[in-house]
Structure formats: structure tokens, C-alpha cells
Amino acid sequence: MRSVDEIDSLLSGLESLRAYLGTDWVNREVEAVVAARQGDTSGGRGRRHRFHPAVDLFAKARHHIDHTPPPVPPTHDLIRLGLLGQQVSLLERAGVPGTADKIALLRSNNWDLFSSTAFEIEIAALHVGIGRHVEFLREGPQKTPDLLVDSEIEIECKSVRQLTQRDQNNREMWSQLERKLWNATRGDSGWYVEFETEDVVRQEDLAWVLEQLGKAQGECQEFCV
């Protein structure tokens, strides 16, 4: 459980990132995402490829903040944006060369480019945080490292994610759950669904969650009018 101060720090980082990316641009694109989702009939399928990665995360974070009573429990998206904003702020204060170019890349609509850029920022902030001099290196005709630390250490940032079949199945179950919940609550407002699992999500878990949601919706129609 994160403290209130930690949550406030994440929210501050989120707003810092919004400013770095351009407040007007982020807000305008978030409204476009919200409008698109309200008219979405796919249950969320393919949404990942339709929106700018950063904007997609901002839209999810805003929905969570707007529909959750304070103190707001941080979601993965909110934590990701908040920490990224803190890391960019740290690099800006340290005057790290090339930071402006990385901020511009965060506005890319390419998910892989967004993720790799965010990872480079994370690694750079890690080294700045322990007192090292860091600079981002521009890509040239020949392959170059991503970072130069203390004018002598070259770093190439790579992240490898290998999912087991169990991980892939679990991810698919969560994706199904998101789509089914989206369809089940579309047209309603004020629904916040939260539950914990002791193991991976199974098909019967999806059915149980939807059954409980249906019961809650029926009770609301009967008593909340």
C-alpha cells in the first residue's frame, strides 16, 4: 500500500509529464480517445494500436482518477506515467543533453518506440540519481550506444520480455475480462470493479465476475433509482 505522499508524488509526476509533452496536445488527444471509446463497439479490441501510447495511458489514468473517491489507489498506468514524469523532471533539472529529443519521441504513436524511449529515460534517471553525468547519444549512420555515462561508459538499453505459455494465457484472460467488463458496463456510469486472485485468472473466474456484476447492476436498478 502506497502512502498518501507517494500517491501525491505520482500525481505530480503525471502532471509534469503532461506539461513536458504539451498540456494542450495531451488534453486534446485524451478527449479524442474518450470520444472514440464511447463509440467503440469492439469491446476494446485493437485499441492499443489506435491511440498514441502516452495518450492512451493518460486517458486510462484520468478515467481512474475521475471515478475513484480519494485517496486514489494508484493503478499500473498511473504509476507508469507518474514515475516517467519524475524521471524526465530529474533529467531536465540535471541538464542531461538529449532529453528534449527523448521527450519528443514519447509523443510517437509507435508503441515499441514509446516503450524503448521510456526505458532509456528510466536508465538515464537511475544513473543521474546516483550522481553520474549522463548524456543521450544521437543515432548516426553507424550503430551507437544510447547513453554515455561519466564521459567513458557507453550503455545500450535493451529489455527482453519472454512470456511463458502460462503468462500468455493469463494475459489473454485479463484482456477478455477487460473487454467483457467494458461491454457489461457500457452505458452505465460510476462502476468501479476491483478483485484479487490467488492464482492466474481462469475462464470460470470471468463468468463469476460477470455474474456478480450483473447482480450488483440489478440491485442498483431496484434500489438506486
Q: What percent of the chain lies above the pLDDT cut of 70?
A: 83
Q: What is the pLDDT of residues 165-193, one digit of tens each?
A: 777 777 777 777 777 777 776 656 566 66
Output the pLDDT for position 217. Answer: 72
Query: What is the sign, positive or negative, of the torsion defined by CA atoms of 181, 186, 191, 192?
Result: positive
Segment 33-42 shows an average pLDDT of: 69
- Is residue 179 within 8 A of residue 45, CB to CB? The reply is yes
Output the pLDDT for position 136. Answer: 95
Output the pLDDT for position 39. Answer: 63
Segment 22-48 shows an average pLDDT of: 73
Is it the case that residue 44 has pLDDT exceeding 50? no
> Which residues have C-beta within 8 Å of that of residue 176, sequence separation ≥ 6?
206
Mean pLDDT, the chain, rounded, equals 81
User: Which one has a higher pLDDT value, 143 or 62?
Assistant: 62
Output the pLDDT for position 52. Answer: 84
DSSP, residue by residue, 88-118: HHHHHHHT-TTHHHHHHHTT-S-HHHHHHHH
Find the range with the poorest average confidence among 21-35, 36-50, 109-123.
36-50
Containing 155, the helix (H) or strand (E) segment is strand 153-155
User: Which one has a higher pLDDT value, 147 or 47?
Assistant: 147
Helix 111-129 × helix 76-94 angle, to 10° = 60
- Is residue 119 within 8 A of residue 62, CB to CB? The reply is no
Q: In angstroms, rounded to a whole number, what is the distance separating the alpha carbons of residues 34 and 209?
A: 25
Output the pLDDT for position 225. Answer: 47
